[in-house]
Structure 1
Amino acid sequence: MRTIAALFFMAVYSPTLADTVVATRAIRAQTILTEQDLAIRPLETAGAYTDPGLLVGLETRLALYPDKPVRPGDVGPAAIVDRNQTVLLVYTSGGLKITTEARALGRGGVGEHLRVLNLASRMTVAGKIQPDGSVLVK
């Protein structure tokens, strides 16, 4: 009787597999993803992407391996600022606008936060990357 109850419980309450986005091949870091790089597999993976359409056009932040789930920290916007690149640093407050040159201390895409070294003051500040490649500090 216990065996029948256990089998019934496992059949009714067994976890269902959800669709999970996986890489179709080994993909190097800093690669822009295309539809051919991604596939959907029936895996139960918490926190992984379930829609490959959300990933097309994003850049890999680290290497992806075949049939391994793709998680949010693995990808991000395509980088427009590279490490050690000279960027325009912009500070605005009310009607005041100050601009100067800075050196990027990392790489990132539009909307990401980035630490930069102000070349005039030698101070490290953080700001948000703008679509034109400048870094806005508030």
Structure 2
Amino acid sequence: MRWFFILMLMATGSYADTVMPTRTLRPGTLITASDLTVRDGVHPGMFDRVSDVVGQEARMALYAGRPIPFDAIGAPAIVNRNQIVPLFFDAGGLSITTEGRALERGGVGDRVRVMNLSSRATLFGFVQEDGSIKVTR
């Protein structure tokens, strides 16, 4: 069955495209269209459209000519390590607002560790679009 699928792909000439960097990108680099190329080939778990990668940030080193895995990039970080950020907690009618220190970098929607500056407790929360952290239980 597997050979049949491969022969069908070869007969139709429809290979999937794979996005690869044209140069080595260090973690934290904002990816632009000039950093990418598209090559023919089937690579499951890798990006196949340039539009999905442009504007994202490299979370790990991306090497030239190697496919880009889904977990290797993410939203650009808007919260940096050791940055003072507003913390918000809202549950069951209780709302708490205070300041905290981010213990790791994160982009919108990322779960990050933060330290409450008044209690010194380590908490987890999600980065919001405005750079604040919505604390979870």
The TM-score, its normalising length taken from structure 2, stands at 0.86
Question: Distance in 2 between the 1:53 and 1:133 partners?
Answer: 25
Q: CA deviation at 1:99?
A: 1.0
* Equivalent residue runs for 1:1-138 within 5 Å: 12-14=4-6, 16=9, 17-138=15-136
- SS of alignment partner, residue 113 of structure 2: strand
Gaps of 5+ in 1: 1-8
Give identity over the alignment, percent: 45
Q: CA deviation at 1:14?
A: 3.0
Could you list the structure 1 runs, at least 4 aligned residues long, displaced by more than 6 angstroms after superposition.
none
Question: Distance in 2 between the 1:97 and 1:118 partners?
Answer: 15
Q: CA deviation at 1:43?
A: 2.2
Cα offsets for 1:77-110 (capped at 9, x unmatched) = 0100001111111111244321111111110111
Question: Distance in 2 between the 1:123 and 1:39 partners?
Answer: 45
Q: CA deviation at 1:114?
A: 0.7
Q: Please identify, of 49-58 and 37-46, the stretch whose mean Cα deviation from structure 2 is larger.
A: 37-46
Q: Please identify, of 57-66 and 87-96, the stretch whose mean Cα deviation from structure 2 is larger.
A: 87-96
- Equivalent pairs counted in the alignment come to 129
Question: Distance in 2 between the 1:109 and 1:13 partners?
Answer: 40
Question: Distance in 2 between the 1:13 and 1:132 partners?
Answer: 48
Question: Distance in 2 between the 1:112 and 1:45 partners?
Answer: 26
Question: Distance in 1 between the 2:94 and 2:115 partners?
Answer: 21
Question: Distance in 1 between the 2:23 and 2:6 partners?
Answer: 31
The TM-score, its normalising length taken from structure 1, stands at 0.85
Q: Please identify, of 13-22 and 56-65, the stretch whose mean Cα deviation from structure 2 is larger.
A: 13-22
CA RMSD of aligned residues (A): 1.8
Partner AA of 1:65 in structure 2: Y
Question: Distance in 1 between the 2:5 and 2:91 partners?
Answer: 57
Gaps of 5+ in 2: 10-14
